[in-house]
């Protein structure tokens, strides 16, 4: 990850360090007591307006990137099923070496001690997973071709 070098102590420097520390702890530390950037009693994490999760609940989902990839899609339409993944397998997929560009936004809420109490992520899952899926474009006009009924898979290739 390439980071801009901000003036030491500036708001930009503080935000960059906070986000980098939080990300390292959230995705790499299984022991909740090692999380120093968050208020363990108040912290919640949510994606795209879903029900907020505590650190413990996020860990029960398999940890790693699984909390970011939760979905309400029926299983038959899932190209990635977070219900069957663990913290280990979610980063061991063959997808890990693919470069995908997508845009999102995160809102961090801090308490009076500059501890993170709430993180909300907003991004388009289809933009992320669609860019990772490989395969030929389905030609619905070809004789005998069966087009996918999944809107994500329909436009990948």
Residues 2-60 pLDDT 10s: 678 999 999 999 999 999 999 999 888 888 899 999 999 999 999 989 999 999 898 88
Residues 35-44 pLDDT 10s: 999 999 999 9
Eight-class DSSP state of 38: B
The pTM (predicted TM-score) of the whole model is 0.69
Residues 68-106 pLDDT 10s: 877 777 888 776 777 777 666 655 555 555 666 778 899
Give the rounded distance of the alpha carbon of 22 from its chain centre: 14
Task: Specify whether the CB–CB gap between 16 and 4 falls below 8 A.
Answer: yes
């Amino acid at each position: 990850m390439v980071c801009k070098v901000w003036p030491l102590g500036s708001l930009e420097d503080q935000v960059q360090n906070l986000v980098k520390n939080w990300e390292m702890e959230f995705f790499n530390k299984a022991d909740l007591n090692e999380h120093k950037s968050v208020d363990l009693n108040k912290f919640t994490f949510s994606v795209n307006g879903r029900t907020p999760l505590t650190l413990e609940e996020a860990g029960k989902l398999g940890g790693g990137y699984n909390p970011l990839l939760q979905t309400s899609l029926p299983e038959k339409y899932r190209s990635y099923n977070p219900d069957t993944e663990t913290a280990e397998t979610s980063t061991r997929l063959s997808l890990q070496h693919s470069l995908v560009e997508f845009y999102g936004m995160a809102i961090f809420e801090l308490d009076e001690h500059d501890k993170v109490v709430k993180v909300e992520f907003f991004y388009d899952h289809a933009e992320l997973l669609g860019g990772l899926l490989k395969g030929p474009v389905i030609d619905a006009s070809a004789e005998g071709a069966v087009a996918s009924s999944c809107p994500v898979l329909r436009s990948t290739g």
